[in-house]
Amino acid sequence: MKRVLLFVATNMAILAVITVVMRLLGLDNTMSANGINYTSLAVFSILWGSVGSFISLAMSKWMAKKAMGVQVIENPSNATEQWLVDTVRQQAESANIGMPEVGIFNSASPNAFATGMSKNNSLVAVSTGLMQNMKRDEVEAVLGHEVAHVANGDMVTMALIQGVLNAFVIFFSRIIGFALGQAMRDEDGHASTAGYYIGSIIGQIVLGFLAAMIVCAFSRWREFHADEGGAKLTSSHSMANALRALQRSSNQEKLEGEFAAFGISGGSAMAKLFSTHPPLEERIARLEQRQSF
């Protein structure tokens, strides 16, 4: 979940900065005196929507390290760190990807995530709680799940989807701004510049959240595929056991809210719309069904 939420949050922040910069430089002049120049607006939206998404992708590994305090294992200092690095290396070779950076971050909850700009430039990180509360075969399955995310190219695919959604957000937020500006004409019949800016910003915020819901839905779908990938790199039995271990942990104590990386636990209907992971029960059922074949 960290991987997705950090990406979405970074993307929205970058999109906001791009919007402000374009305003200040006067490059957001996609409206004409006679109405909206849809062609110019579409080109503008696609260009800056894609830029925002891929800047977010390029920053994803750096942001994850800073936000979570990940300590990258450059020279293993103990047997556990050596095992982590060796396990990820073996799985990366099996998945035919470049060796990811391997890191540990301090968290009592059993969490893990993977991020990075490409299959050959990635990071796999686990929490101290995961290492302390899970068995070796369960940790290995979790690592396999994260390596599968990298091998499946999930972050790149997400960046492409986010880029398309950004384009829609920019396009329709400007239309909303234009409409509000027209509705707030002054006594001389001139469209309100303030109305256009306010409408554009509000539209971008609202549509941005709708776009985030779509990204989260895609993320939930990809989790099933990462579970399958983790099962192939280890076994369906180990992958299911890892999910059960997380389920036991989540029953004992509430996961760390929006930073629960490897799974989720219930929540309101609105929270589920922004959940990046399907319910653990569904994921376990999928794996058990896979074992029966």
Condensed to tens digits (0 to 9), the pLDDT of residues 167-215 reads: 888 889 888 988 888 888 877 777 788 888 888 889 988 998 888 888 8
Burial class (CB in 10 A: 0-12, 13-18, 19+), 222: buried
Tell me whether strands 71-72 and 101-105 are parallel, antiparallel or unpaired: antiparallel
Annotated catalytic residue 146 = yes
**Portion of the chain with pLDDT greater than 90, in percent:** 35
* Averaged confidence pLDDT in the chain: 82
Is the confidence at residue 256, as pLDDT, over 50?
no
| Structural element, H or E, at residue 54 | helix 38-68
For the chain, the distance separating the N- and C-terminal CA atoms, rounded to the nearest angstrom, is 30
In the predicted model, is pLDDT for residue 137 greater than 70? yes
Higher pLDDT among residues 6 and 17, named by residue:
17
105 φ, ψ to 5°? -125, 150
Q: Looking up tokens 């001139």, which residue turns up? A: 190
Q: Is the pLDDT of residue 139 over 90?
A: yes
**pTM given for the model:** 0.79
Residue with tokens 């309100």: 192
Q: What average pLDDT score do residues 208-228 get?
A: 89
Report DSSP letters for 231-269, one per residue. Answer: HHHS-HHHHHHHHHHHHHHHHHS---GGG--S------H
CB atoms within 10 A of CB 257: 9
101, 138, 140, 146: which is the annotated catalytic residue?
Answer: 146
